[in-house]
Amino acid sequence: MQPPVCILFLLISCFHLSSSTRTFDAIFNFGDSLSDTGNFLIANANAFPAPNIGNTPYGMTFFGHPTGRCSDGRLIIDFFAEAFGLPLLPPFLSRNQSFARGVNFAVTGATALDVSFFEQRGLGGMLGTNLSLNVQLGWFEQLIPSLCNTTEGHSSLLLLLLSMRVDCRKLFSKSLFLVGEIGGNDYLVPLTFHRLTEEQVTAYVPTVVEAINNATERLIELGAVNLVVPGNPPSGCFSGILTMLNGTSKRDFEHDTGCLKKANDLLKYHNRLLREEVVKLRRKYPHVRISYADFYKPIIRFARSPGKFGDYPSLKACCGGGGPYNFNIQALCGLPGSSACANPSAAMNWDGWHATEASYRQIAASWLHGPYAHPPIMSLMKD
């Protein structure tokens, strides 16, 4: 029997570390809008029109102003940093920041596959950014010399590995690496904006999973020992997907959640393949500790039992421009015509695409302590 959601919420009070565990010296995060702490906003500082996530009410719950996070407050990665006694991760593209305790490479709109994959198939037009997972890994490799005092200017990964000093390996062995969540945009952009069928998008799920697996292995080769590989959330439960891919019959929706079945089936398939690859990596690298973090089940629990989470409808966005799910592509959160609900902490869904701080708090607890990370992330720190 799984613990009730309220217990997961209480686990957040247990984030302090016991004397039997060690802490991480740094966190390095790769991903998309579910963990971006400002890179997209910095990269698009001169864009017109300006990104909606740079406007209020983004950030209203915790920071009091927009930070580039796609939520009303903190994200899962923020709760991790707090749990390990580290500063909130600065975005890589920020200036005058210290990256000694970690850095965030995640970018809103990022894909696991390079943009060229989509452009070759006529699907590149609606992608939010060209800063894919591979680009983010390139940023990390560029940063290594400054983190570890290695010689700069390596033309290959092999030369970089050969030059890495002992202190660099030591730092990475005591750091936490998060590879995702990422991959959702690879599927949802073709589904929603290009109207590809579920079958067409499903065909390249193995390619997306392979890209995530390759990125994880690349980090292991660079010295990562403690890694978290999150799966994808059930995006069929978010109001943006429910609105843009609105079903026409009851068969299109899950009977127990009201979520869109075809979107969730696709992401369940992705998660199954990804988890299988994590198992293979553990066997290949027995000295490495890898946690698979389940993003799917906690949100499904919220959708099935909205009363246990808050009194706001679980499938309705807190911030939006109206409609059955409070989502309007012409009046996105942060744009004229939209408004936020009075109490985001009672809502699961923030803006139609992303969750609220309250949701992320509970998911973070369930990954740190279980039951939705395998093994729980706190167990990675045991000597």
**Given pLDDT bands bounded at 50, 70 and 90, which one contains residue 13?**
very low
Residue 374 tokens read as: 């395998």
Residue 108 is predicted with a pLDDT of: 99
How far are the Cα atoms of 79, 130, 146, 338, 347 from residue 357, in angstroms, in the given order?
10, 27, 33, 19, 9
Higher pLDDT, 21 or 301: 301
CA-wise closest residue to 234 among 197, 261, 202: 261
Q: Please give the Cα distance from 380 to 196 (Å, whole number).
A: 40
* Domains annotated on the chain, with CATH: 5-381 (3.40.50.1110)
Active site amino acids: 33, 351, 354
**Given pLDDT bands bounded at 50, 70 and 90, which one contains residue 57?**
very high
Residues 6+ apart with CB under 8 A from 69: 36, 37, 38, 53, 58, 59, 63, 75, 78
Do residues 26 and 175 lie in contact, with contact meaning Cβ atoms separated by under 8 Å? yes
Length of the chain: 383
Backbone angles phi, psi at 102, to 5 degrees: 130, 170
Express each pLDDT in 205-250 by its tens digit: 999 999 999 999 999 999 999 999 999 999 999 999 999 998 778 9
Do residues 21 and 174 lie in contact, with contact meaning Cβ atoms separated by under 8 Å? no
Q: Please give the Cα distance from 153 to 63 (Å, whole number).
A: 39
DSSP for residue 90: P
Q: What percent of the chain is predicted at pLDDT more than 70?
A: 88
Q: Please give the Cα distance from 126 to 109 (Å, whole number).
A: 10
Q: Please give the Cα distance from 300 to 298 (Å, whole number).
A: 5
Express each pLDDT in 347-369 by its tens digit: 999 999 999 999 999 999 999 99
User: Is the pLDDT confidence value at 19 over 60?
Assistant: no
**Given pLDDT bands bounded at 50, 70 and 90, which one contains residue 132?**
very high
Residue 120 is predicted with a pLDDT of: 97
Express each pLDDT in 82-107 by its tens digit: 999 999 999 999 988 899 999 999 99
Average pLDDT for residues 26-49, to the nearest whole number? 97
**What average pLDDT is seen over the chain?**
91
Residue 6 is predicted with a pLDDT of: 39
User: Is the pLDDT confidence value at 9 over 80?
Assistant: no
Backbone angles phi, psi at 30, to 5 degrees: -125, 140
**Given pLDDT bands bounded at 50, 70 and 90, which one contains residue 111?**
very high
Say whether the peptide bond before residue 298 is cis (omega within 30 degrees of 0).
no
User: Is the pLDDT confidence value at 5 over 50?
Assistant: no
**Given pLDDT bands bounded at 50, 70 and 90, which one contains residue 165?**
low
Residue 328 is predicted with a pLDDT of: 98
Average pLDDT for residues 190-211, to the nearest whole number? 97
pTM value? Answer: 0.92
User: Is the pLDDT confidence value at 157 over 60?
Assistant: no
Residue 221 is predicted with a pLDDT of: 93
Express each pLDDT in 262-288 by its tens digit: 999 999 999 999 999 999 999 999 999
Residue 337 C-alpha from the chain's centroid: 28
User: Is the pLDDT confidence value at 12 over 60?
Assistant: no
Q: Please give the Cα distance from 12 to 118 (Å, whole number).
A: 40
Express each pLDDT in 324-350 by its tens digit: 999 999 999 999 999 999 999 999 999
Residue 246 is predicted with a pLDDT of: 85
